[in-house]
Amino acid sequence: MNDTANVPENHAPLNHVESCPDPRHFNFTARVLHWSMALMILAMLFVGIGMVSSLSLRPALISLHQPLGIAILLLVIVRLINRLRHRPPPLPADLPAVQVFAAKASHWLLYALMFAMPLIGWCMLSVGGYPVTMFNGFALPAIAPHNATVYAVFRSAHTWLALLLFATVLMHLAAALFHAWVRRDDVFASMARGYVTNAKTLGEEKEHENSANE
Ligand code: HEM
């Protein structure tokens, strides 16, 4: 059978190596990475704000901000590889095209920001001539040459992209709750617990399993 025959038009995969049938939920790795990174990113946004607004907390928060940010960079690489190798569950077939577009665009924007924020932080400290300290004095190498003008550009980019990330996370959260509480479809459950919840879809799930076993 054609590998793409079961993929609904509104959620054609960007890249995948799995064959049919469509998955009903995100795989375990995707779910663990999603919720752990959600906590880490929210923590980073508040730690960042705390760092620039409190002199007394600044040293402790900076020493948390740098390793946590680099951990996010490493995890997003794993997450992207997992995302490209495992097709996500399809969005509901009756979702309006504009919402499908908004969902896809915001997901890729989140990926872009998860890469950009730590990389810009690392570049910013490198061009500023500051060490990027991980733990026990261990520092990462500089990834760009010292340059005060470029430092100013990266410093400002780090702030503006943090604001964009915060806004995108809030919209993402609002959309997730809209699916869970207003539309009451299985989008939230596919990431929350990995199981479909509503009766209609449970029936479809059973049929789906039967046809997959045939
Ligand atoms: C997902 C990753 C990251 C997020 C969400 C994040 C977020 C933030 C936020 C919200 C601020 C405050 C910005 C402001 O008010 O102007 C900030 C500042 C800062 N961040 Fe990050 N950051 C991340 C990664 C990193 C990394 C990896 C580094 C370094 C290796 C870094 C270094 C810094 C520095 C040095 C400051 C400014 C301190 C200052 O000039 O007072 N950040 N970050």
What is d(CA 57, CA 53) in angstroms, rounded to the nearest whole number? 9
Interval 106-121: pLDDT, tens:
999 999 999 999 999 9
State in Å: Cα 202 to ligand 1 middle: 44
* pLDDT score, position 135: 87
Q: Domain 18-201: state its class.
A: mainly alpha
Is 76 touching ligand 1 by the criterion CB < 6 Å?
no
Torsion angle, CA of 99/105/106/107, rounded to 10 degrees? 110
Cα(121) to centroid of ligand 1, in Å?
A: 6
Mutate to test the pocket of ligand 1, among 45, 56, 65, 110 (most ligand atoms within 8 A of CB): 65
Q: How many helices (H) and strands (E) does the chain have?
A: 6, 2
Q: How far is the CA of 31 from the centre of ligand 1 (A)?
A: 26
- Residues 19, 88 contacting (CB under 8 angstroms): no
Q: Taking the domains of the chain in order of start, what are their residue ranges?
A: 18-201
pLDDT tens-digit series, residues 26-82 = 999 999 999 999 999 999 999 999 999 999 999 999 999 999 999 999 999 999 999
Reply yes or no on whether the pLDDT at 202 is more than 70. no
Indicate whether residue 69 lines ligand 1 (CB < 6 A). Answer: yes
The span from the CA of 163 to the CA of 45, in Å, is 9
Average pLDDT of 83-99?
Answer: 95
Amino acid 19: pLDDT:
53
State if residue 49 touches ligand 1 by the CB under 6 angstroms criterion: yes
Ligand 1 pocket check: which of 62, 117, 138 to mutate, most ligand atoms within 8 Å of Cβ?
117
Atom 31 (ligand 1): residue with closest C-alpha? 121
Q: Residue whose CA is closest, atom 20 of ligand 1?
A: 121
Average pLDDT over residues 163-168: 98
> Mean pLDDT of all residues in the chain?
87
